[in-house]
Amino acid sequence: MIETHKRLRFHRLIDQARPPQRADRAAAGTLPTRAFRYCDAVTSAAGYGWWVFAPMDLQLIWDGHDIFWYFDGAPDWMALSPSAQFPDFSRAFDDAAPSALRGCAPPFLTALPEPGVVQIWTGLMAQTAPGWSLLVRPPANIALPGGYSLYEGIVETDYWFGPLFTNLRLTRTHQPVHLRADFPLLQVQPLPREAYAEETLSATELVPDMNSMSTKDWDAYHATIVVPTEDVDRAFGSYAIAARKRRQGKCPMGAMPANKADLAVAI
C-alpha cells in the first residue's frame, strides 16, 4: 500500500517509457502569452496533474475495418488482431515476475470491438492513497496532433492495481496516425473520491432566473465585475494574482477581484 503521506505512485514496467512529468502551466509553451500571464483558470487546468507518454514512437492506420500498426525497426505494417505486445516485453516481464505470473504480461495495443478504437498501454501502473482516484484524460489545453480522440475515465487506483492505459478512437481512415514518445499522450489528475460521489453531485441547486437572485448575489456580482472596472489604474490579471495568493494562503476566501480584461481572457 502507498504511504499515507503520498498521494500517487507510478510504477514503470517498460524501461523505454518516458517517466511521467508534472504538467506545465504553459501547456508545453503552447498557450498564448496573454492567457499564460492573466488567465489563472487556464493555467491551473493545464498544470493540474501529470503528463503520461506513449512508450515508443508508433503509427496506426485504420482502413475502416482493420487496424494496423508500425514502429521504426518493424519489418512492415502489422495487423492488430486483436492485440500486440511491446517489442521484447513479454520476455522481460517473465524474467522479472514471480513464476505464478509468467505469461501474464499486459498487451501494449488491443483492437477493441468498437470500430477504430484501440486500447494503448503507457508502460506504467499507478497507485493512489486510500480514497483517491485518477482521472485519465487528454492533455489539458494542448491541441492533439489530429487523427484521433481520447476517451476519459476515472480509475479507483487505490485498490485497482493494473496497467495505466487509455482508449483511443481513430477519426480518419487510410492515413497513418503518428503517436510520438516525446509528446504527452495523457494527463492524469488525482481526485478525492468525494469529488465525484453521488452525494456531492446531488448537492446542487439552480437559481431559475435573475428575479430569484438575492441581494447578496447582486452584491457579489457588483464586487467582482463593476468595482474593478471603476479603478482606472487597475493592473491586468487581478484574478490571477488573487488566485495565486489564495493558493499560498495570503488572500482570504472570497477576495478574488476580476475585471473585464480578465473575463475576456478567461472566456
- Summarize pLDDT for 130-156 with one digit per residue, the tens: 999 999 999 999 998 899 999 999 999
Domains, the chain, with CATH or none: 8-26+49-195 (2.70.40.10), 209-266 (no CATH)
Question: Residue 45 burial by CB count (10 A; 0-12/13-18/19+): exposed, middle or buried?
Answer: middle
What's the confidence (pLDDT) of residue 258? Answer: 44
Contact of 119 with 167, CB cutoff 8 Å: yes
The region of weakest confidence among 30-44, 49-63, 171-185 is: 30-44
pTM of this prediction? Answer: 0.85
| 265 pLDDT higher than 50 | no
3-state secondary structure 84-119: ECCCCHHHHHHHHCCHHHCCCCCCCEEECCCCCEEE
